[in-house]
Chain A
């Protein structure tokens, strides 16, 4: 009986250790911290919810490297604006104050101080939130700057801007806006056509947006739908952001009036505004040359291959029912729809033009991974897959992909072309192993039951 109790305890201990070791990595993962070089500031984001009447403190440390000359540091709190590309603009005190400004709410405990080589100093910003603060967000920027060296020529100063985004908790956050303009670059033979959409945040809180641009010919037939990836940065209230879409027509465009419909959406797809514009092509437009071209005929096999051999599409004899002129072009990451769950975009994206609908026989798409693809996959080529964007279904299809880890090559068979992307699957360690944990939990419960049972029996004996 004693022996069976010991075994049961050991099993329980092993199960518990297994559970702990399965969970431990997520607790002990830490951010890598590198040695300070140049101007270094920690606490470079002040993004938080606040309550009316509250006072909060935010600490930042400021340091320069061991090899850097001593300097004078200036610290200022300013109203923040954004250029149309999202860059922060530090507004001067003389400029008119926005109702969404947090500048007057924030003070810093030191506005300037000397900083010696290798030294670290702390700056504390204090935000006093009035009880009548109102709703939505309040914004400012704390600028920490070195003094430029005064000498003939070009003096250089380094600065770190700390964005301040305060959201008044439990208030009505309004995310709305309007398209203030659509402009289309002058169509020029051999060059992509740029479509710019200006969107203004008319709400009381910051948010990110994504876009969709549909280009139609003079007869109303859709030529292309271009996706504009979510903005990397939020648009703060009253600011305008420019969304860039690049239209690369799949073929020659005759002269005429073409239409552009632009939609701006929240990240979850909720439409904020849509607008239609018109642009004119005065002379027959020829698109930029493709990276690879070939003619596909029904009675012959064909290969579409880039000059560097990195990307190829091989068509067997009989793949097409009619003659088709095919082109392969690289595609901008910024114009791709977001990757599906558990996947992220790597670095190789391309579009095959000239074929609509299904192939009669499957073609083979082959891609040699670039260093950037491998970097995205953290060096593990087995995590890479090929995916195809389906314009009709408006979704990504992940294609069964063969991976040759020796040559770093991916290949997949498909009966449809269009937009392709190399994607990276989540690393196994980044997913919670619920199935494994469930089994372990059941085993643990059973073992504990055995221990209890044995203990009870032992007392009775």
Chain B
């Protein structure tokens, strides 16, 4: 009997468009979301979801964006960290935030984005803003 092709489905947390980043108050500033994973025909195999920032301009730090492109000279002083059940990773390289094995169906995991804001970080006003793109990559491993 032919074996069904293994499949992997991930639903990453929603974009964070409203995040008050200020150096006062408790640090780091955090935002949480849910990541959902479904695997089929993955019997006995390990799988993981890793997080990274693949953009060499931002390099793991929220960077000024003028609406058209990044302004690479203006970044937050500390890189973003992402926290998941498998541990805390620091961008840009990041690493696994969720690991598992075998089949799961719509398994939900809490993911927290953690950003420290310093008094020395540049204040920017509209239309520019700080931006960063984070990629959640899932894979089933042989």
Contact = CB atoms under 8 A, between A and B. Distances in A.
A234 interface: yes
B96 A87 contact: yes
A452 interface: no
B71 interface: no
A65 interface: yes
B27 interface: no
Interface string B8-27: 11111111111100000000
B140 interface: yes
B56 to A, nearest CB: 9
A83 interface: yes
Interface string A88-110: 10100000000000000000000
Contacts of B106: 34, 37
B46 A161 contact: no
A156 B141 contact: no
A30 B1 CA distance: 10
Interface residues of B, number: 53
B113 interface: yes
B130 A152 contact: yes
B65 interface: yes
A86 interface: yes
A234 B142 CA distance: 7
A27 B133 contact: no
B129 A31 contact: no
Report the contact-size class of chain A (Cβ under 8 Å from the partner): 35 or more
Interface of A: 27, 30-34, 36-45, 47, 65, 83, 85-88, 90, 141, 143, 145, 148-163, 165, 206, 232-234
Given A40-B9, A47-B142, A152-B65, 18 more contacts: A32-B40, A34-B105, A37-B38, A38-B36, A40-B8, A43-B6, A141-B139, A148-B135, A151-B17, A152-B17, A154-B31, A155-B133, A156-B14, A157-B136, A158-B12, A160-B138, A232-B46, A234-B142
14 contacts: A30-B4, A38-B9, A40-B7, A65-B11, A87-B50, A145-B135, A145-B137, A152-B17, A152-B129, A153-B130, A158-B10, A206-B142, A232-B99, A234-B141
